[in-house]
Structure 1
Amino acid sequence: MSYSGTLILIMSIAVLAPLLAYGVGRWMPVPLVIFEILLGVLIGPDVLDWAESSPLVDGLSELGLAMLIFLAGYETDFGRVRRNTLRRSLWAWLITLGAGLAIGWLLAGGGFSKGVYIGTALTTTTLGTVLPVLRDSGDLGTPFGPVMLAFGAVGEFGPIIAMALLLSGRNPGQSTVLLVVFAALTAGAVFWALRPRPPWFSRLIAATLHTSGQFAVRLVFLMLALMLGAAQALGLDVLLGAFAAGLITRLVLAGAAPESSREVLGKVEGVGFGFLVPVFFIVTGIEFDLDSLLDGGRELLLVPGFLALFLLVRGAPMWLLAPRDFVRRDRAALVLYGSTALPLVVAITALAVDARAMTTGEAAALVGAGMVSVLVFPLLALRCRAGAEMRERAALPSEGEESW
């Protein structure tokens, strides 16, 4: 199929996926991403072989991943998170990192590079994938939402830092210096974002909000491009820049035109979730190496093993360090959402294969486990959270704030 035909097919799936999710959702809530990935696998080279790779499609997919992480950063409002919760989320991830590196080293038979790749992959949380599920279920606006965002943000941001330190090919000192430089740039951008905006800034946003000018939307994508460029220039993962851009954009829009910020976000989400993000998930399904996974019995057996390790390595510390007032089903939902991993797993395994630290079959097994986690864990988490929103709405707001 031609490149243009592949793009038409991808966008057809992007339209079909929500129709399927809506139809199935009348009987059982299924995350939209499930249909996007599975349909991508279906049209991929290992099944129907209808899709053909192209620089255009690959570029849109990479931009979709950046947009996914950007929106996750935007939704991470640390102002809604209690300091104790943030501290718990940091400790949970540090414990996860230690356990992940130890298990990765054992699975690699003592090999350092392979152990680091496996161990880092086990520490990830796909907040960008979980975010649409939280929003669609209404949990994002409940007391559960900020807690999940805190644990998820650390689980998405932390592995990117670990990758920059351990997998960059530079010595730890150089990597640390570059991270400090990027942190300083981000801090400077945050300081600028917190400054009061002049009156003309808000007026310009409001005046162009429904015109072809779209000043605020263009500004958002400029900040995304600047942070991606800064991360790339420093030799860091561009996902680090995307996440930082989301955090900064939230501050800029809230400080400049709070009455228009939600509408601007809606427009950006329209571009992201309506176009770029679906392309990323569909292309992830297309590029999944199903043949390598099915050809070897060992690789296929690794899938449930890696899936269990996601729950054990990433989920167990989250269960132990969840807020004290979390009931069991909320803890279970936190663990399931937090153990959902895919985009960073794809990036890490791609680096591992390029470095010849991991075979394509092993990489496919790890990515396959990540795909299963995306397909299964959010669905189970939704079941755990069933009825929780009614319980939280029945509680007094002050009680809710104290308990979370």
Structure 2
Amino acid sequence: MEFEVSAILLYLAVFLIAARVGGALSLKLGQPEVFGELIAGILIGPSVAGAISQSILGFSLCVVPGTPAGQFMSLLGEIGIIMLMFIAGLSIEVEEFRRAGRPSTVVAASGVVVAFLLGFGAASFFGWTTLEAGFAGGVLVATSVGITVRTLMELHVLHTKVGLTILAAAVIDDVLGIIILSVLSGMAFGGISFMGMAEVIALMVVFFLAVILLGFRIVPRVLSYASRFAADEIVLSVALAIVFVISAMAEKVRIAAITGAFLVGLITSRSQFADSIRGKVATVGYGLLIPLFFVNMGVETDLQALGAVSVLAVVFLAIAMFSKIAGCGLGALLSGFGVKDSLRVGVGMMPRAEVALIMASIGVKAGVVGQSLLSMTVMVVLLTSLVTPVLVKIAFKGAEREK
């Protein structure tokens, strides 16, 4: 695929201007920047700018995600969200994160169970088959942590007990979602087996053990060794190279790349170069790459998918929002959190994205479910992404802030 440099540069300019204008207006309205970036993306994309220009001018004048330049922007956005999670890991004390492990496990498991059962039950009630209902429930299980992490950082609550619990629970949630995805995929294509499932789980376990056990020993030493050379910013380059390698490995074992990036950040936080690396990555990330991800999410949003909203779609959306708030909130209550903090945990675990869309598309491709599930999933991803920053800000009003 050939990329036209002038088109890419123009898209970069439009994306950055949209991100900054949208973020600034959002802050003026008392909302997190990420909310304004998502809305700005929708406005400059086919759903708004494209539709308006087509009706007035007779041709579409907007950012088009399917073009080579649009695909390139999507790639830059993916790198941006990887850098965001790397920064999140760099910003966290390992001991604090470890203490959040037990309650996070309960929160993640409770949220997955409640979301799956409610989605399965609703689809069954509307006459879907057992396998169709299984995909409907599966779509709702996995949290997308990128939007929540960005919002928690803006509100200065990521490093609190609640913020760390949300982050750790989202990592566990991702693993549980992939296991459920593997089971449903096997059932859809008739190839599920005990050995196949054991292989998926074993690869995940090996990945986490290798990265955590070897990473804490090797990565700080590698960065220290690299610092001996006189090349400009060599420590930063080596650190980013490690991030991208581990993120790629995570994708290979079906774990989200952002989880790999977060783990590298957590490991690198033990290095003497952590503060320097974090500052430089934050400059590049927030100045260029991270806003591109959220604007691109808006650009790729298809508002027409909301045009044929059925009763089941409304129920499905309500369950998508309620199931995580109730399920993860219940897990937080069982782990000793108060009612307000439990609600905050539940709201923070609400957004869905990649895993949900992948699961719905697999069901459609296998002929197990119709396009209706994919349309409902797009609606859930869109609306949970838009409302989460607003609800998180409301939920965390009066909450403990970072010291």
Verify same fold: TM over 0.5. yes
- 5+ residue gaps, structure 2, are 51-61
Instruction: Give 1:182 deviation, angstroms.
Output: 4.3
Partner of 1:171: 192
* Higher mean C-alpha displacement, 192-201 vs 369-378: 192-201
1:215 aligns with 2:234: yes
Which of 65, 88, 102 is 2:78 aligned to? 65
CA distance 1:351–1:4, change in 2 (3 Å) = farther
Deviation at 1:333, TM superposition (A): 1.9
Please state how far the C-alpha of 1:265 moved relative to its aligned partner.
2.5
Contact 1:41–1:287 under 8 Å retained in 2 = yes
CA contact (8 A) 1:93 1:154 kept: yes
Deviations 1:69-104 (A, max 9, x none): 564366355521465x53333233333333333334
In the alignment, structure 1 segments of 5+ residues that lack a partner are 394-404
Residue 313 of structure 1 corresponds to which residue in structure 2? 323
Alignment of 1:359-374 (within 5 A): 359-374=370-385
The residue that corresponds to 2:149 in the other structure is 131
Aligned match of 2:169: 151
1:347 aligns with 2:358: yes
Per the alignment, residue 392 of structure 2 pairs with 381
State the 1:196 CA deviation.
6.2
Quote the residue 1:400 is aligned against: none
Name which of 241, 246, 268 aligns with 2:262.
Answer: 246
What is the Cα deviation at residue 61 of structure 1?
1.8
Deviation at 1:190, TM superposition (A): 2.6
Name the SS for the 1:48 alignment partner.
helix
In structure 2, how many angstroms separate the alpha carbons of the residues matched to 1:125 and 1:368?
15
Which of 330, 340, 343 is residue 329 of structure 1 equivalent to? 340
Q: Name 2:206's counterpart in structure 1.
A: 184
Aligned partner letter, 1:148: I
CA distance in 2, matches of 1:200, 1:244: 18
Task: Write out per-residue CA displacement over residues 218-249 of structure 1, whole angstroms, 9 at most, x where no aligned residue.
Answer: 3233334433443555xx43x53441243134
Matched residue type, 2:320: F
1:101 aligns with 2:102: no
Verify the 8 A CA contact 1:40 1:284 in the aligned structure 2: yes
1:331 is paired with a residue whose SS is helix
Distance verdict in 2 for CA 1:185–1:123, change over 3 Å? closer
Q: Deviations over 1:22-65 (max 9, x none)?
A: 3442441x232322222222233333221232345325424533
Contact 2:77 2:296 survives alignment (8 Å) = no
Structure 1 residue 128, shift from structure 2 partner: 1.4
Which residue does the alignment assign to 1:12? Answer: 14
Could you tell me whether the CA contact under 8 Å between 1:92 and 1:317 is conserved in 2? yes
> Could you say which residue in structure 2 is the equivalent of 1:89?
104
Relative to structure 2, which stretch is displaced further, 30-39 or 131-140? 30-39
C-alpha separation in 1, matches of 2:220 and 2:391: 47
The Cα of 1:314 is off from its aligned counterpart by 1.7
CA displacement 1:278-312 (0-9 Å, x = unmatched): 33333332232322321x242xx555423321233
CA distance in 2, matches of 1:60, 1:377: 24
Q: CA deviation at 1:358?
A: 4.2
- Using a 3 Å threshold, how does the CA distance of structure 1 residues 272 and 326 change in structure 2: closer, same or farther? same
TM-score, normalised by the number of residues in structure 1: 0.79
Counterpart code for 1:374? S
Of 150-159 and 70-79, more deviation after overlay is shown by 70-79
The alpha-carbon deviation at position 117 of structure 1 amounts to: 3.1
TM-score after normalising by structure 2: 0.79
| CA distance, structure 1, for counterparts of residue 180 and residue 384 of structure 2 | 22
Root-mean-square deviation (Å): 3.4
2:131 aligned with 1:120, yes or no?
no
State the Cα distance separating 1:138 from its structure 2 match.
0.9
Checking the alignment, whether the CA contact within 8 Å between 2:23 and 2:37 is kept in structure 1 is: no
- In the aligned structure 1, how far is the partner of 2:222 from the partner of 2:111? 47
**Map of 1:399 onto structure 2:** none
Q: Distance in 2 between matches of 1:312 and 1:4?
A: 45
Change (3 A) 1:17 1:182: same
1:261 match = 274
Distance in 2, Cα, partners of 1:389 & 1:41: 33
Contact 2:19 2:291 (8 Å CA) reproduced:
no
